[in-house]
Amino acid sequence: MHNEMQEESLAKDVQYEEKDEAYFSYYAMLTHQAQMLQDSVRTSAYQMAILKHAEPFFEGAKVMDVGAGNGILSLFAIQAGAEVVYAVEASGVVSALRRLVEAASQEDSPSNAWLRDRLAVVHARIEKVDMDLLKRCTPGPVAFEDGKVDTIISECLGVLLVHERMCESFIEARDRFLKPGGAMFPRTGTLCFSLLNDSRLYQEVRARGEWWNTNNFYGVDLTPFADAARMEAFSSPVVGCFSPTHIVGAQTDPNTACSVCPDDAVNRYVVDFSTISLENLRTFDVPIALDCVHEPVVVHGLGAWFDLSFLQPEEEEENPDNPQFAMTTSPFAPATHWAQIRLLFPEPLAMNTGQCLLGSLHFQVNERRSYDIQADLYVPLSNESSNEPLFRRKAFWKLDNQTYSWETTGI
């Protein structure tokens, strides 16, 4: 009865807009939670990063888990010695998480007794969390004294890192609840882009628009739909694992440098969760300088994925490439549930040996928990005049309008 009353008193703290109901209902499903837990790349990377950072970021620390879901990161933090973890989760999966906490509190044959009085489940969106709510959720004698935690952890990441816009909640928690000098896990996320050659996929996507280009479908002229259908097909990113054989350019030869590409324009864009502002997360430009191809090739678009790093600032000089503190969703690595995405051009681009692709991608948040991406890319006229375009490609993608196509990569 007490638990039912507590649920009722806390329910008012969870307020979604109507457009978000389907999103949070999806994450309330244990089937989906199991899919994420079974992603061994993701789960193992987080556990290793947390346990290996037990000292000084978790032992005896107050920790906040943003978008806690099934609570696995909270449990890893407790295994690493956290004094208390505040597991903030807006979806209905908190009911199952509370049962885990209750089972640990049983006097006879407790389950997971090691987490007793150390895990506080906060049923709310982080934007609605306040001191009063946190105090009501505090387990045992631990007090939330100054409203600040030592460490914030989260796995609020979508396809290409930023889809679903949950990274904003991670930053919101940092700005409101992280003490000065506190730690963020993960600390950085990196968007990665490559040239893509995938004729099969290009023809498949092209056919979706061209199907409408018929003037006699049961006596009906469908051609007025054709332009809109083509635009829709090519503005839809294709999610799914693909073989690294589709990647062309320097990604297959990382020791080869491009003499044309400017030093300040690379095919990686780093989001530092410890410093980035919400404004700079909601709209940003990615400079693109994709290295020269080594043989003539047709480029059908861009391949894209993201990497994570758990290295804290003081560790970067000592361990810049330590795989124990990193995770990748690259096609060159074992697959994750995030997979990769392919962003196709409406018109392929024929590139010759020694050419490279320059320009930028403009990311802008939209109202569908995602981003619109505007591309302005070009092949320079020559090595001596890199600002003059030989070929130019403009493209537009809606990251929320995803379609799916999977390959067996053999990795």
3-state helix, strand, coil in the chain (%, to 5): 30, 30, 40
Neighbours of 17 (CB within 10 A): 8
What pLDDT, on a 0 to 100 scale, did the predictor assign at position 140?
54
Mean pLDDT along residues 197-219: 96
> Is residue 7 domain-shared with residue 104, that is, in the same domain?
yes
At residue 30, the pLDDT reads 85
Return d(Cα 112, Cα 96) in angstroms, integer.
14
Please write down the HEC assignment for all residues of 260-278: CCCCCCCCEEEEECCCCCH
Asked if residue 102 belongs to a domain, the reply is yes
Residue 410 has pLDDT above 80, yes or no: no
pLDDT of residue 142: 61
Average pLDDT over residues 347-368: 93
Instruction: Examine the domain organization and report whether 194 and 59 are in the same domain.
Output: no
Q: Give the mean pLDDT of 207-224.
A: 96
- pLDDT class for 293, splitting at 50, 70, 90? confident
12 and 148 assigned to the same domain:
yes
Q: 215 or 291: whose pLDDT is higher?
A: 215
Q: CATH no. for residue 46?
A: 3.40.50.150
Q: Which domain holds residue 218?
A: 190-404
**pLDDT > 70: percent of the chain:** 85
Q: Does residue 265 lie within any of the structural domains?
A: yes
In a domain, 134, yes or no: yes
Domains in the chain: how many in total?
Answer: 2
User: Of 130, 155, 180, which closes a domain?
Assistant: 155
DSSP bridge partners of 376: 360, 394
Asked whether residue 195 falls in the same domain as residue 123, the answer is no
| Amino acid at position 305, single letter | W
Considering only CA atoms, which of 197, 199, 217, 218 is closest in space to residue 207? Answer: 199
Comparing 132 with 220, which gets the higher pLDDT? 220
The answer to whether 272 and 309 are in contact (CB under 8 A) is no
Question: 58 and 6 in one domain?
Answer: yes
129 and 263, same structural domain?
no
Pairing state between β 178-185 and 149-154:
parallel
**One domain, residues 150 and 194:** no
345 and 209: one domain?
Answer: yes
Judgement on whether residues 11 and 96 belong to the same structural domain of the protein: yes
46 pLDDT above the threshold of 50: yes
> Read out DSSP for 130-168?
-HHHHHHH--TT----SS-EEEEEE---BTTBTTTSTHH
Evaluate whether residue 160 is within a structural domain: no
Q: What is the pLDDT of residue 262?
A: 39
Q: What is the dihedral of CA 106, 111, 117, 119, to 10 degrees?
A: -130
pLDDT at residue 108, as a whole number: 83
Asked if residue 177 is part of any domain, the answer here is no
Choose one of 155, 173, 206: the last residue of a domain. Answer: 155
Is 399:372 a contact under the CB 8 Å cutoff?
yes
- The string of pLDDT tens digits covering residues 126-157 is 999 988 888 787 665 466 667 899 999 999 89
Average pLDDT of the residues of the chain: 87
pLDDT at 264 over 60: no
Q: Which residue has the higher pLDDT, 185 or 134?
A: 185
pLDDT, position 67: 95
* 201 plus 316 within the same structural domain: yes
pLDDT at 256: 42
Instruction: Assess if residue 181 is contained within a domain.
Output: no
What is the pLDDT confidence band of residue 327, given thresholds at 50, 70 and 90? very high
Give SS3 for 312.
coil
Question: What pLDDT does residue 138 have?
Answer: 63
* 201 & 137 share domain: no
Considering the chain, what percentage of its residues have pLDDT values greater than 90? 69
Q: Are residues 353 and 222 in the same domain?
A: yes
What's the whole-number mean pLDDT along residues 314-336?
81
- 208 to 176, 225, 308, 337: CA distances (angstroms): 46, 12, 34, 26
Q: 230-249: per-residue pLDDT in tens?
A: 999 999 999 999 999 999 87
Report the distance separating Cα 177 and Cα 202, nearest Å.
46
Residue 287 lies in a domain: yes
Q: Which one of 107, 135, 155 terminates a domain? A: 155
Summarize the confidence of residues 358-381 as an average pLDDT: 95
- List the CATH number of the domain containing 325: 2.70.160.11
Cβ(379)–Cβ(357) under 8 Å?
yes
Bigger pLDDT: 274 or 22? 274
Q: Identify each DSSP E strand in 216-356 by its residue range.
A: 238-239, 247-248, 268-272, 283-290, 297-309, 326-328, 341-351
Residues 6+ apart with CB under 8 A from 296: 350, 351, 352, 353
Residue 167 forms part of a structural domain? no
